[in-house]
Structure 1
Amino acid sequence: MGSVDASGMVQSAQMLFELLDNKIDEIGEDYVIQVVTDNVANYKLAGKMLMEKRRKLYWTSCTAHCLDLMLEDIGGLKDFKNVIATRFATRLFDMSSLVRHKDALKHLFISDEWKGSNLSKTEAGKKVEETVFAVPFWNTVEDFIRASKPLIVVLRIVDGDERPAMPEVYVAMEEAKKKIREHLAHKERLWKKIISIIDRRWECQMERPLYGAALFLNPGKFFMFKENENGELIANLHISLVDVMTRLVVDPAIQDKITLQIDDYRYSKGCFGRDMAIRQRTTINPSK
């Protein structure tokens, strides 16, 4: 819808707030429900200021950036940092490529061409050769892939443009944590560190009622999730929906009507309990 050259401006929260606020006026406040920005402090404060002024609006930080920061933190763990040399999600692709070509790499370093090369006689060459044949190195690479791959799945959901990501993110993150625990079940200390990183990043940057409400209203995911999770978590999703409804729906009469239908939906009563409604939970796009 437009762009602003702000390179010569002080990137203060107030300036960012004014830029975004003016754009909302231009678009029309009724048409703007969510503003997504970078995760740094000045943008977070600008988002808070927007929510204080604009009653029917939510600010959220960028999910893809949050996931990248999770991966960066995981790569910085003592268990991994000695074998990780690049930043963000590209690490996983580098590591996966190494594993795919592990046998070829080993053959390279036992070949006559390598033995006869000048590089093989340098300290750097000897160090690389030693690394390629070191079992702990490959174990660490494979552990990093096990830790990172589930988060890349979430990243692909977020970056995809075929369907709305919001209803998928919450459950995708829970599934990613489950996979990490399973993949690293033999290293409890490590997976606990990784889950702690994920939870910390998510809670401080992405814990917004919109994500819980979007999952609650996505029957294809919600009822599958509901069967396998505890009641406290489902109750928290319900609360998220009420928070969003209270903020976005101004008319008390409509709020009351929605509240009555929420329980029917959650417990599959009334129209929501019909065979057709249950059957179509996974076949109808919740955004339609």
Structure 2
Amino acid sequence: MKKVEREVAERLSSLQHKQVPLPTSSVSLGPSLSLHEPRILEHLKKRKSMDSPIAKAFDMQTRAQLDAEIARMFYTGGLPFNLVRNPYYLSSYSFAANHPLGGYVPPGYNKLRTTLLQQEKTNVEKLLEPIKSTWLGKGVSIVTDGWSDPQRRPLINFLVVYENGPMFIKSVNCSGEVKDKQFIANLMKEVIDEVGDQKVVQIITDNAANCKGAGEIIEGMFPHIYWTHCIVHTLNLALKNICVARNLESNQETYDECHWITEVHGDALVINFFIMNHSMRLAMFNRFSSLKLLAVADTRFASIVVMIKRFKLLRRALEAMVMSDEWGQYRDDDQGKARFVYELVVNENFWEKINYILSFTALIYDMIRVCDTNKPCLHLVYEMWDSMIFNMKKVIYDHESKLPSDFSSFFHVIHRILLARWTKHSTPLHCLAHSLNPRYYSDKWLQEKEGRMPPHMDGDVSTQRMKCFRRLFPNPDERAIVDDEFADFSLKSGSFGDPYAILNSYDKEPRKWWACYGSRAPFLQRLAFKVLGQPTSSFCSERNWSTYSFVYSFRRNKLTPKRAEDLVFVHNNLRLLSRNTS
């Protein structure tokens, strides 16, 4: 064998040195071995390409070696390949390649996690200053939420939300502290003082009792700042009251009307688990569908609706699976459950119930989708809630074949749940934002649906709006001016009677409309700029924990809370800055 290898090496060396043209079929390397032409050509081309003048000019061998070193770093460090799409990955190597840095040594372990991290945090803070300078005129919302890190330390984070997105402010380690309303209120006050109380319009939290109590304390300290509930949490709680009704004495009527929804969801879970918990059944299902079954966590908003929506999309695939020869030939240990799954999948009544559930819960789900963003939507909540109830009544009455004047016990229960949630968690700020939206005074909007009225003619809205005016303008002289300005705005008189102002009130974005036509009402214009630019959900604070999980994982759990906070600050706010630049 060694003799053969030696013959091959000698023949390749002679061919390369003499550059003898190769035959078209094969090259004889002796009685014991014959190599085909493509393999020799490939070897020669590689050798020649590395020794060519072009390769030497661009130092291809050194480049290939650097590529190998970078790849080795990825492979041994378990780094995701997606890292190469990071713009800072490309810019760092480009900077090194375009500058003479002889003898440069990359930063070490301690420098990277201490000195350089603090330098970058300081740099990010400077880059954020121009954004913060706009907050006084536009107003911001402070959003907060709690979480536990991999070492089970309780953390509370604070973000400031403005028109272009959420800005991470800080995270507080609450180990050893009692997270009552006074403790949370003190943390909120520190953030308000840091941001500037005149810039803050509202504080948004979830609907926990201690958060509500803390919000009331803040409202006592700063009368112009409102505590508002997260509207997405409120809608999710209402959806749970409807879809997961409990058999309690105080909840008997709701359970009697809505428990069938829980049963349908339970049947869908049985099918889901029956398929997903066995590799043979899952492989069988995957041959009939490219979509996957979902195992939705209960902590996710509208988890029941999300799962049932996916189930509806998979109907044809499930029917094809249980009717196939493969399903009939498969011998499962649990024949009873397999028969139950088959009967459910082919049962038309089961799918009709799913369609009905989705038809009326989709209205709540759609509102959750609209509100579960950073975009300004505080001024839309009041009207969306009213339209949601109106459309839900229409869907239920059409399904039950009833007239609008008839009584529906099912709709009565749902309406009572939604109304109770709104009454408990609505704030005057929702009504104020609704009142300042020019769209709701336009004839086009008023004529879209019977029974609509402009906000200044709605008694409940007007009462809540006047409460806001008294809080935001404690000076009687200023409040009198604001009342006059609002009267002109709502009656389309004075400067608001301009034909273009009336024409554009329906389609134009509310703040842009106020910028164009509200200069003659300075107090109301400044208020509109602030109120109409606010979100109504604390979702960004909850999604920030995904960034924490990315930075502070179970494998990287030795980070101190302070260093983890600095890393999240840099990560989040660099992303914010990148979204606002070219």
The TM-score, its normalising length taken from structure 2, stands at 0.47
Distance 1:119 1:68 in 2: 38
Pair 1:116-2:335 in alignment: no
Distance 1:145 1:72 in 2: 14
Tell me which of 207, 210, 218 is aligned to 1:42.
210
Distance 2:314 2:365 in 1: 21
Tell me which of 371, 379, 385 is aligned to 1:167.
379
Q: Say which SS state the counterpart of residue 35 (structure 1) adopts.
A: strand
Could you tell me which residue of structure 1 aligns to residue 354 of structure 2? Answer: 141
Could you tell me which residue of structure 1 aligns to residue 546 of structure 2? Answer: none
- Provide closer, same or farther for how the CA distance between residues 145 and 222 of structure 1 changes in structure 2, counting only shifts above 3 A: farther
One-letter amino acid of the counterpart of residue 492, structure 2: S
Return the offset for 1:121: 5.4
Quote the RMSD (CA, aligned, Å). Answer: 2.2
1:166-185 alignment to 2 at 5 Å? 166-185=378-397
2:182 and 2:214 in contact (8 A); partners too: yes
Runs of 4+ in 1 over 6 A off after TM superposition: none
Question: Relative to structure 2, which stretch is displaced further, 112-121 or 68-77?
Answer: 112-121
Return the offset for 1:239: 2.3
Could you tell me which residue of structure 2 aligns to residue 102 of structure 1? Answer: 315
Q: Judging by fraction of residues, say which structure has more helix.
A: 1
Return the offset for 1:211: 0.6
Q: Say which SS state the counterpart of residue 4 (structure 1) adopts.
A: strand
Distance 2:387 2:470 in 1: 29
1:216 and 1:237 in contact (8 A); partners too: yes
Distance 1:221 1:115 in 2: 60
Q: Judging by fraction of residues, say which structure has more strand.
A: 2
Distance 1:83 1:158 in 2: 28
Distance 1:8 1:146 in 2: 47
- Provide closer, same or farther for how the CA distance between residues 7 and 197 of structure 1 changes in structure 2, counting only shifts above 3 A: farther
Return the offset for 1:133: 2.2
> Which string of whole-angstrom CA distances, capped at 9 and with x for unpartnered residues, describes residues 17-68 of structure 1?
1111222122222112201111011111111111122221110111111111
1:157 and 1:169 in contact (8 A); partners too: no
- Provide closer, same or farther for how the CA distance between residues 45 and 75 of structure 1 changes in structure 2, counting only shifts above 3 A: same
Could you tell me which residue of structure 2 aligns to residue 285 of structure 1? Answer: 509
Distance 1:96 1:211 in 2: 31
1:211-230 alignment to 2 at 5 Å? 211-223=430-442, 226=446, 228-229=451-452
1:246 and 1:255 in contact (8 A); partners too: yes
2:440 and 2:454 in contact (8 A); partners too: no
Tell me which of 414, 418, 424 is aligned to 1:194.
414
Q: Say which SS state the counterpart of residue 9 (structure 1) adopts.
A: coil
Could you tell me which residue of structure 2 aligns to residue 10 of structure 1? Answer: 178
Tell me which of 253, 261, 270 is aligned to 1:80.
261
Return the offset for 1:221: 3.4
Distance 1:40 1:121 in 2: 44
1:268-283 alignment to 2 at 5 Å? 268-283=492-507
One-letter amino acid of the counterpart of residue 175, structure 1: S
- Provide closer, same or farther for how the CA distance between residues 217 and 287 of structure 1 changes in structure 2, counting only shifts above 3 A: same
Distance 1:28 1:231 in 2: 35
One-letter amino acid of the counterpart of residue 118, structure 1: R
| Percent of residue pairs bearing the same amino acid type | 25
Return the offset for 1:178: 1.5
2:264 and 2:354 in contact (8 A); partners too: yes
- Provide closer, same or farther for how the CA distance between residues 231 and 276 of structure 1 changes in structure 2, counting only shifts above 3 A: closer
Aligned length: 286
2:308 and 2:354 in contact (8 A); partners too: yes
Q: Say which SS state the counterpart of residue 2 (structure 1) adopts.
A: strand
Tell me which of 172, 185, 201 is aligned to 1:33.
201
2:379 and 2:434 in contact (8 A); partners too: yes
Could you tell me which residue of structure 2 aligns to residue 245 of structure 1? Answer: 469
Return the offset for 1:97: 1.9
Gaps of 5+ in 1: none
One-letter amino acid of the counterpart of residue 106, structure 1: E
Question: Relative to structure 2, which stretch is displaced further, 43-52 or 85-94?
Answer: 85-94
Return the offset for 1:274: 2.8
Return the offset for 1:7: 4.3
One-letter amino acid of the counterpart of residue 158, structure 1: C
> Which string of whole-angstrom CA distances, capped at 9 and with x for unpartnered residues, describes residues 173-215 of structure 1?
111112211111133332222222111112112x211111111
Could you tell me which residue of structure 2 aligns to residue 260 of structure 1? Answer: 484
- Provide closer, same or farther for how the CA distance between residues 189 and 7 of structure 1 changes in structure 2, counting only shifts above 3 A: farther
One-letter amino acid of the counterpart of residue 177, structure 2: M
Distance 2:495 2:358 in 1: 45
2:441 and 2:490 in contact (8 A); partners too: no
> Which string of whole-angstrom CA distances, capped at 9 and with x for unpartnered residues, describes residues 237-268 of structure 1?
22222211211123322211110122222222
Return the offset for 1:93: 2.3
One-letter amino acid of the counterpart of residue 262, structure 2: K
2:205 and 2:228 in contact (8 A); partners too: yes
- Provide closer, same or farther for how the CA distance between residues 157 and 231 of structure 1 changes in structure 2, counting only shifts above 3 A: closer
Q: Say which SS state the counterpart of residue 33 (structure 1) adopts.
A: strand
Tell me which of 342, 355, 362 is aligned to 1:129.
342
Distance 1:182 1:213 in 2: 28
Gaps of 5+ in 2: 1-168, 245-257, 267-295, 401-407, 513-582
- Provide closer, same or farther for how the CA distance between residues 268 and 120 of structure 1 changes in structure 2, counting only shifts above 3 A: farther
- Provide closer, same or farther for how the CA distance between residues 222 and 194 of structure 1 changes in structure 2, counting only shifts above 3 A: farther
The TM-score, its normalising length taken from structure 1, stands at 0.91
